[in-house]
Amino acid sequence: MLKVINVVGARPNFIKVAPIVEAMKRREREFAPLLVHTGQHYDEMMSAAFLRDLDLPQPDVSLEVGSSSQAAQTAAIMQKFEPVVLREKPDWVIVVGDVNSTLACALTAAKLGIKVAHVEAGLRSRDRTMPEEINRLLTDQIADLLFTPSRDAVENLRSEGIPDSRIRFVGNIMIDSLVKYLERARTTEIREQLGVAGRDYAVLTLHRPSNVDDRITFSGILDALAVIARRLPIIFPVHPRTHKTIVELELAARVEEIPNLRLIEPLGYLDFLGLYSEAKLVLTDSGGLQEETTFLGIPCLTLRENTERPITVELGTNVVVGIDNETITNAAFTALDGAANQDSIAVPPFWDGHTADRILDSLLE
């Protein structure tokens, strides 16, 4: 039996770890899973909502590191995670995604001689100004097994000199959660509560510092949203740091001037899935939403200059539009008018809801 520590740090990690933990519990003769929550995202209410929605057990260990600078947070996670690894003596530590917890726990385990597996390996934006890109690059260098979501991720790793013996193309773990919970999510009452049931609407997420920490950039995006909102309502679950910068940059009045832009509190997994899965359009600077909308066939505009998930552009519904307001509005109306080439849209290989079991099979090799 393999004893495995599964690390979660930020809310997207819950979505990726949940299918793995569930599969391990189903295969209890082969795996003994432990769940460690670093507390990188420290909103207790939101963490509890994600645990409940995804049928995850309460974490076996909570490190409660909270928010701080990139360096301080990474160091705090390492300092608090090391005693856990020494006490539990796992066979594997599984890290997912690209947050600070991913790199910190991978580095800690590697230095202690514990095998590390990285789920969602090989993704590259080629933009080293993104902290996530640094986390991805370094985690992939030290991990013993690299589980990739797409074939381009495999090629990225090979080009960096990583041998095939460490690479496993297993598919997209986020789609495991989406497949399991989609029908349940569509029965939630979130659309009725927001008054958009049976209507066309868009969903917006915005949280990256490059978008929300600069007043000129944020203002330009708001200009585009104001134009799009004349066509249909835009539902905007506001990330805590985005809410903070709206106030600090004195943009609250500008936001309020856009009558069809509706700011709401962050949603749990099921409510959010129930909301965006019925949307006419999604605008985002998130990584995961690019993938989920591709699977669902929903037009997605990525408000960034690059993406670490190019497969969603090549095969899916994603368009990388940057932050120019005219480009954003033109792309939005093209999507809303159905002018995109639907014949080119496809779901990438192994985005099928069975990635978790492929991961476990590789760990047992």
Strands 92-96 and 115-119: parallel
User: Which one from 207, 239, 243, 354 is the annotated catalytic residue?
Assistant: 207
Helix 269-276 vs helix 173-185: crossing angle, to nearest 10: 80
Cα–Cα distance for residue pair 2/363, rounded to 1 Å: 9
Half-sphere exposure of 49 (CA within 13 A, CB side): 17
What lies within 8 Å, CB to CB, of 342 at 6+ separation is none
Cα–Cα distance for residue pair 227/325, rounded to 1 Å: 9
The three-state secondary structure class of 257 is: coil
Cα–Cα distance for residue pair 8/15, rounded to 1 Å: 9
Q: Is 118 a catalytic residue?
A: no
Phi, psi of 89 (to 5 degrees): 50, 60
Distance between terminal CA atoms of the chain? Answer: 12
Cα–Cα distance for residue pair 100/120, rounded to 1 Å: 14
Q: Are 203 and 299 in contact (CB under 8 A)?
A: no
**Helix ranges, the chain (H):** 11-26, 44-53, 70-88, 100-111, 131-142, 151-159, 173-185, 190-194, 209-212, 215-228, 240-248, 252-256, 269-276, 288-296, 311-314, 325-336, 355-364
Cα–Cα distance for residue pair 51/286, rounded to 1 Å: 21
Catalytic residue positions, numbered: 207
